[in-house]
Amino acid sequence: MTLFAPPFEWPPQTERLARFYAYWQTRCGDRLFPARRDIDPIEFWYVWRDVLLLDVLHGPRLRFVYRVCGTGHVEWRGKDLTGKEADDSASPQLDGTSLSGWTDCVAQRRPNLQKLQGIFDDRLLHFWTLRLPLGDSDARVDMVLTARQVPR
């Protein structure tokens, strides 16, 4: 799956993601990315169901912990992953794709957009995912905020 970097050319049926990205950009100020304290979930209510917020654990091995899982993710996965490490999920193929996207977001310190289309873990999937870095300084990403949009 190809990862797209900014500036994004928004495909049809990704208007909620484009709006979310525009909101995130307004919170950057003169930084590469905003801190968690700079964003207010009330202001992006239109993607709540499809949001993930992940803590980034830096160490010998980069790890991710689900801090917030929107209800759309919980329904889709059949369980709430809040508080669990990304490695604890039961969807290895899809999570491998997600991990590579989160890792890219952290390493490059910039957003990415990815279209996921195909069979993952015996399920036919088709959606777009936007991954946005958050951190207290431009030197390090501390969290990844993601949203997905399923074409109508």
Per residue of the chain (152 residues), give pLDDT as tens: 577 788 888 887 899 999 999 999 999 999 999 999 999 999 999 999 999 999 999 999 999 999 999 988 788 777 888 999 887 555 555 556 688 899 999 999 999 998 887 665 666 667 889 999 999 999 999 999 999 987 76
DSSP 8-class letter at 139: T
Half-sphere exposure of 37 (CA within 13 A, CB side): 2
For residue 1, the model assigns a pLDDT of: 57
Sign of the C-alpha dihedral computed for residues 108, 7, 65 and 98 taken in this order: negative
Give the Cα separation of 136 and 110 in Å (integer): 14
Per-residue tokens: 47: 């993607």
Q: 3-149 adopts what CATH topology? A: Beta-Lactamase (3.30.450)
- Radius of gyration over alpha carbons of the chain, in Å? 14
For 75-97, write each residue's pLDDT tens digit. 877 788 899 988 755 555 555 66
Give the Cα separation of 113 and 146 in Å (integer): 10
Give the Cα separation of 112 and 53 in Å (integer): 15
For residue 73, the model assigns a pLDDT of: 77
